[in-house]
Amino acid sequence: MRHILMAAAASAALMFAAGCGSGGAEEPAGSKDETPVQEAVKAPEAIPATPEPVVAPAVPAAPKTPKEVARELARAAARGDARAQSKLGDMFYVGRGVVRDRAEAVRLYRLAAEQGDVHAVEMLKEIAVSSKKAVEGK
């Protein structure tokens, strides 16, 4: 008998939560007395019909060699990309991925500096100072 009473109480609670125990007159959705469970039961359109697809994380690309980076930067630099010109200038300045060529580095820095690249301007200043010191023998 005790189990029957517990089952009846649980059933009544579920009916109340679902809005069936309100005495027949339903209140409009979003009323103050409505619980979130009642809103969810009354508004099935809020539940998406199909779940959103799960997108697998992108596999990171294999690290590029300095030569590959230099090739890509050279393409972008040829299109007039100031940042690429400056970065490629860095590569020529130190000889990373390309044959070390300070004259080419200065040419690229000048192109980038003309477009307002701050790093290129700073590198040109540094090269000018180091060249002056080399000439003076300091």
Q: In the chain, pLDDT over 90 holds for what percent of residues?
A: 48
Closest CA to 109 of 85, 80, 134: 85
- State residue 22's pLDDT score: 47
Q: Is the pTM of this model over 0.75?
A: no
Note the maximum CA span of the chain. Answer: 108
- State residue 11's pLDDT score: 55
Contact 86, 117 (CB under 8 A): yes
Which of 22-26, 52-56, 106-110 tops mean pLDDT? 106-110
- State residue 33's pLDDT score: 63
pLDDT in tens, 103-127: 999 999 999 999 999 999 999 999 9
pLDDT (average), residues 65-86 = 96
- State residue 118's pLDDT score: 97
The CATH architecture that domain 66-136 belongs to is Alpha Horseshoe (1.25)
Residue 52 has pLDDT above 70, yes or no: yes
Domain with CATH 1.25.40.10 in the chain: 66-136
